[in-house]
Structure 1
Amino acid sequence: MKRRLSDIIKELRLTGHATISDLAIRLEVSEETIRRDLKLLSKEGLIEKHHGSATLRNYSSEPEFHHRIEENREIKIQVAKLAASSISDGDVVFLDIGTTTAFVAEALKNHKDLTIVTNSVVIANTIFAERGFKTYLTGGEIRSHDGGMFGPEAYDAIKRYCINKAILSTAGIHHAYGFLTHHLCEAELYSEVAKMAEVTIICADSEKYNRRAPIKLLDFEDVDILYSDHMPAKALRKELEKYNVAMRLLDGMAKNDVIENTAAD
């Protein structure tokens, strides 16, 4: 019960509002179960109930970084380690502002001779003192809720680097829309990063599967490898395979080995 209530809150954080039928489908329970759960959450003052739907109180489009980094923390750490294992010594690596990406930065500390390019103050602070590493911040306006740097300065700066591997995060991966985000500035910057990188990698725990966010970050065809913990359901898996997105998963299952091996050469 407690886990399901937490899952409902996570779903409502994406857009602030959801119908009972949508929540029932996403959480794979009955609509009557969702109604009972919403009644409990309403009594706790966390949501507002409406006819056939619910709204998150004090909704913000994205939780603060320090809250997000604690969600599914252990899974994110393991996914990050798996992604870090694909980085070769001497690579030029772009790291975005995501929480899983922050764990990738930690996992890269055993590497040598890396050049790290990032628009994250958090990641730069994590890795700048590593011996043998070169770390570059893009510049731009710093967002207060996550330490991300955006704007014309960041966009112009990224064009100066020859990026071997770009490691990006996403707010959701939906079979009909691709990789999604809450912020237009992220889509603008990271679509340019994906164009420039030899290999574009997405790191995301499986709770991002079939979640929606208002803005398209990247199309499936823009991504080379997805690192996650479990295989997605049929509809999403079909789209990933259609566009040759290699899947590297903690549960030991993998698809499209040739794609990753080719990209890494």
Structure 2
Amino acid sequence: MPSDGQRHGSRWRRERIVRLASTTGLASVEELAAEFDVTASTIRRDLAQLTTEGRLARTYGGAIALDPHPESTLRQRIGDAFEQKQGIARWAAGQVRPGENVLLDAGSTVGALALELRTTFPLTVATTSMTVLQALADVDEIHVQCLGGTLRHVSQGFVGPLTEAALDRMTFDRAFLGADGVTADSGICEAELDQTRLKELMADRAEHVYVLAHAEKLGRRPFHAWARLPRGWTLVTDDGVDPAALAPFLAAGIRTVVTDADGTQV
């Protein structure tokens, strides 16, 4: 009888190898052979093929991911922690008052917030997000302003000097920011510096700043670009958060809001 690794085939196995190497940073031939119940020579052929494709770099006895923390696309992230993001979005929507000027960042949780805001009007929403534009495009009572610029396809958000120039002419009652990771000492972590510079500018233009981040993002440092946040910002996360992950934010005096799936603060 063929093993699971054999039954799934080489293409499936190679995709799994890339994912494992991206998670752990380093994958050995022996570990991968045991994981997929195939021979070491089979794994070596897989690694050779993935190296040729430019997806891994060979090391002595194994392989290392070219990027240990690849940035997920917006489409990939939408289904992650779905209920938690909905709860965060519902609480955030409850902070917005009719008549306000609101700034919405790119990201899946902020996209969920846009859907919750469809019944809050009159309202002015400025955004860098294609997802937000699509969510609010047919709501006549909401005035939508697109902060254009260069589209990052992976996040479906606009960045760059044109976006920054538009922001320089505007102020907002509230700004809601997304994050790939967030820490109490360094702020928001993102894949590229143009993202973090833009988030800093967005935070500077708003009276109230909220970072929407489900529990798994707290304390994470997946990349090397950071956005510093002004004093008085609010972290909004879900009730699955580990108290140890929340503790640095509380110790730093950062306002923290923990919500359940219904958007109720707990």
Q: TM-score, normalising length from structure 1? A: 0.73
Moved more, 151-160 or 42-51: 42-51
Q: Secondary structure at the match of 2:25?
A: strand
1:53-92 equivalences under 5 Å are 55-56=64-65, 61-92=70-101
Q: Which residue of 2 aligns with 1:106?
A: 115
Q: Which residue of 2 aligns with 1:227?
A: 236
**Any gaps of 5 or more consecutive residues in structure 1?**
1-8, 21-34, 255-265
**Any gaps of 5 or more consecutive residues in structure 2?**
1-17
- The reply on whether 1:117 has 2:126 as its aligned counterpart is yes
Q: Which residue of 2 aligns with 1:217?
A: 227
Q: Which residue of 2 aligns with 1:146?
A: 155
Following superposition, the deviation at residue 52 of structure 1 comes to 11
Aligned-pair Cα RMSD in Å = 3.5
Per-residue CA distance 1:22-65 (angstroms, 9 max, x = gap)? xxxxxxxxxxxxx9799527979799797899744887731121
Q: Which residue of 1 aligns with 2:3?
A: none
1:1-265 equivalences under 5 Å are 18=25, 40=35, 55-56=64-65, 61-212=70-221, 213-219=223-229, 221-222=230-231, 224-230=233-239, 231-234=241-244, 236-251=245-260
Per-residue CA distance 1:134-165 (angstroms, 9 max, x = gap)? 00011111122232111111001012222010
Shift in alpha-carbon separation, 1:106–1:39, aligned structure 2, 3 A: farther
Indicate if the aligned counterparts of 2:26 and 2:65 stay in contact, CA closer than 8 A.
no
* Structure with larger Rg: 2
Q: Kindly, what percent of the aligned residue pairs are identical?
A: 21
Shift in alpha-carbon separation, 1:172–1:73, aligned structure 2, 3 A: same
Aligned length: 229
Cα distance in 1, alignment partners of residues 151 and 202 from structure 2:
18
Q: TM-score, normalising length from structure 2? A: 0.73
Q: Secondary structure at the match of 1:62?
A: coil
Cα distance in 1, alignment partners of residues 227 and 179 from structure 2:
7
